Amino acid sequence: MLEVDNLAKRYGDVVALRDLSVRVEEGECLVLLGRNGAGKTTALRCMAGVLLPTAGTVRVDGIDAAEDPTAVRARVGLMPEVPGLYERMSARAYLDHFGAIYDLEPSIRRRRIEELLETFELTDAGDRWLGTFSKGMRQKVALIRATLHRPRLILADEPTSALDPDSARRAWIYLKDLQKSGCALVICTHSMDEAEQLAGDIGIMSGGRALAVGNMVELRRHSGLKPHQEVRELPTLQDIYLAIVDNEGGLHRRELAETRTA
């Protein structure tokens, strides 16, 4: 479904992404973890066909994002970190507008909009202007918008960061249902809970590079962490993440020191 090979992206002199390679098949979910500025958002934008790679390739459903970005964007649902809603539109009108852009039949989009508003408990607020919505409600509308056209690939940047625990759980269930129906997911998050809930594979990014990509077992092996001796408990994702990122940080510091000495 999604094939990313040696993806690199520069903004002028700044290297935002380098040598990223990942695969996500139908019904799979890849979670990207990383510090702020690690390149996660840029990676999502390249995967969505919004930004063109400086080097490397992105293929969605076999379509090269550099050759036919319009076709790629039609197959993808991107949920950016900031919901970016039109404040002077009602939720229904807003979703209808985007449904029309994605060529959904009017009857189908009306039905789906009502279903999804109900799923996210927004039916009663559906005719209110989006400018009056709370942060969490906006995030729900953004999630509905990104998935309304049943995309083959969903790219979500911190999809539940503004949601209360109950709504977040509801959103995870919704995303898992989409995943079961064959949709591929790539999610950027800082929430280890969310990562553990959703992920098949996890990619840990730093400085525009993927330090490690794999499932929990593979990452545990990569991190070199042993089970906690006292209770024989497996290391959590939080432990693994910190170990991998800290190792990389240590390596980077050592490389820097060696360069200075030389």
Partner 1 sequence: MSWPKLERRKAALVASRDLRDAVSELRLIVAMVGLTLAIPIASASGVRALAAFGGGTAVVNRLSLVGAFFVVFIPASFSLVLALESFVGERERTTLEVLLSTPLREAEIYAGKVAAVLAVSLTLCYGGLIVYCLIAFPGLGYFPLGILLALALSTICQVAAMVAGAVIISLNARTMRAANVMASFIILPMSIVLQVEAALILLGRADFLWAFALAMAVVAIVLLRMGFSGFSREALLARDVGLRNPLRRARRAVRASFETRPGIFRLIWMRRTPMLLAAAGLPFGALAGYLAGASNAVPSAVMRPVLASLIRSTGEGGPINEVATVFSHNVLAFLLVAVLAITTAGLSGFLLTFAPGFLLGFAAALSSWTLALTGIVPNGIVEIPAAIIAGGLAIQLGAAAIHMDARGGWTDRVLAAFADYVRALRWLVPALAVSAVLEVFIG
Sheet holding 153-157, edge to edge: 76-79, 153-157, 184-188, 29-34, 201-206, 209-214
Minimum CB separation of residue 168 from partner 1 in Å reads 21
10 binds partner 1 (CB under 8 A): no
When the beta carbons of 48 and 204 are compared against partner 1, the nearer one is 48
When the beta carbons of 4 and 76 are compared against partner 1, the nearer one is 76
92 binds partner 1 (CB under 8 A): no
162 binds partner 1 (CB under 8 A): no
Binding-site member from 7, 31, 38, 76 for partner 1 (CB under 8 A): 76
| Interface segment toward partner 1; rule CB under 8 A; list 18-26, 69-77, 189-197, 198-206 | 69-77
252 binds partner 1 (CB under 8 A): no
Minimum CB separation of residue 195 from partner 1 in Å reads 23
| Interface segment toward partner 1; rule CB under 8 A; list 80-88, 105-113, 221-229, 240-248 | 80-88
82 binds partner 1 (CB under 8 A): yes
| x-or-dash string of contact with partner 1, 37-56, rule CB under 8 A | --------x--x-xxx----
87 binds partner 1 (CB under 8 A): yes
140 binds partner 1 (CB under 8 A): no
Packed helices 135-147 and 106-119: angle between N→C axes, nearest 10 degrees = 140
Minimum CB separation of residue 136 from partner 1 in Å reads 17
Binding-site member from 40, 145, 152, 220 for partner 1 (CB under 8 A): 145
Subset of 197-236 contacting partner 1 (CB under 8 A): none
Backbone angles phi and psi of 253, in degrees to 5: -65, -40
Which chain residues interact with partner 1 by CB under 8 A? Answer: 11-12, 45, 48, 50-52, 70-71, 73-74, 76, 78, 80, 82-89, 97-98, 100-102, 142, 145
